[in-house]
Structure 1
């Protein structure tokens, strides 16, 4: 009967145009809007709706619905076998219902929500490569004679075109998502590579700079310290000497940390008990923590697997992090240290209750020489980042101004070959 219908003047041309229109876009909403417009015009229907199969939940949801109550309907779902659309999804065969009031399969909850009065329904499966991807309903033919078998066959044919277009659009959407995820991964990898190259170049430069700067700074520092022990000619001179001394001391610390950074190489890994290492570094900080009235709260699992690491380098990294946390709480506070286990990694979180880091500074905290502290050298977190990266781990810092800082470390768990 479809042959008779499409042999009518202009109908075959309209079908060809419709097929081309469907495949002219991969945007699902655009494709389905065109489909509904075409089918409603083709069959002289008052309304239509398209359900899509949820491949995860195994039911049907409104892929496209129009009208004043569209938002309410969009949240509603149908199980396979429920209502006319659910019956078609279950049997994968079209249905023609001339009078919904006499068909027990008709589900009235959609009419109750939308206020629409459905008198007759023509429903067909939407398939792609013999696989059900959705269902289309056409409601209330304007012609008093109602839907007939020719309409059913036409909708079945058109449904195959719509099903293929719907599946193509879905696959295109998934491809776009995968492409976006891949691009993000590439950008992240590129950023890490650039950072590694920049830090490697900085390390070479730092060796030369530190070597050239250390001797003059040491001489100036020694001179100023001797000068500070002598009676100054007046108070202003003493203040200036103290100021210069503090600045030289900062330079000496910076030179020391630059040299330490430049010496960072490949870690000499062996199985290390991270929990023991944390307790060891905490013990070194304990006197200062007591003086500052900082309480320590531990949250450790009963058993922690080893990590393949260089214990000396990890001591340096943990020392920097605990010192930063302590310095963030000069008037006391709470230092929280938590260890947790993931399938392939060990997670260490160190949280203070200091003033936190400004949002604008968060993206720079691991940059060399960046520091928000007056006496900071800006190399501590750079050293931490490089040490953890050399251990194939990850470090992140999160902060809310006024609520402290949490530093997250992830290190790979030991495997039998480590």
Structure 2
């Protein structure tokens, strides 16, 4: 409400003519009525009621509520709760078609255990179906060949679930390779891990001979790396190389693997084999997330090098897992533990496995001019093998300022025949850059 009040008398020497009262048009002439007195009303009120809906801008901002489109396929939208439960219980349709029924039931108050009780689909399988359906949707959006998608219509949830951690482009390539190779769930899992791990292996021997965009090359490189964990010649190494050749896609990768199989490296290969025989301890750099992706892990007690041999002698000798959940049991309590992927050197450890943490890599017998000297490392030792047997072996010993790793030949020179344990593996911490890989020349 707006009010204007005028308590004024106007004394106008003018002439007042009304031409049109309806239009409020007035004219005054000072020569006609020199003494005319006009009194205006004492109060003039103007009322204005602003209606929000009359504001055009506010009308543009207002949007009526529109419910989101139903995620259910058209054939299931008319079903009630009991009907949807029946579809799931009897698997009435393809797995990716009835997968959206699970979240729709959860919105109504169901839980995975109650859905399992009503339909027989376990919570693990519910999660697998939902994730696999999302992976399949991403393949559809990537315009994957319908014939490839059709390969996953029956039993494809287990296969697509394994490639969930890959990018959209990698998923499309992996799906094609899985369909063409007729992989099972284990094969799909190995392929996904190989594709995920391949970029982080830059700098490894032979890496440049494999093509990152080809799933088969990524898988082939994984088998090629496994072959180098075995002696040359050996049946295990040959079998791994043959498997690598079988799945390789690029001509460059196949050529390199064939040279390894046929021994065309000549003197160079012989020289490398001699070095491998001399250096018996693998040195690996832990990859970020490698433990989470490992299908098998090993738990070992950790000792600090500065505590000398006391902790090494007191650490638990036996640590095992039991039950369906793999609960870890140790023979006694311990403060520090480490979880490692199921690498061959640590999986083969029986009783007596222990890990010693060093804050400085110079505690090991190698040249440190190409190493970052302050880099922390972990040394895995087998306490059940204390005898200093091999000149080219490495052993954990106690010195004045703590623990150290010595070569067998150096210990024999000072008449040391027993150590705290034989070193089986050296682990470097995770890092983004991988250009500082340890080479054979770094060993003293």
Q: Give the structure-1-normalised TM-score.
A: 0.23
When you count helix as a share of all residues, which structure comes out higher? 1
Q: Give the structure-2-normalised TM-score.
A: 0.22
Q: Which has the larger radius of gyration?
A: 2
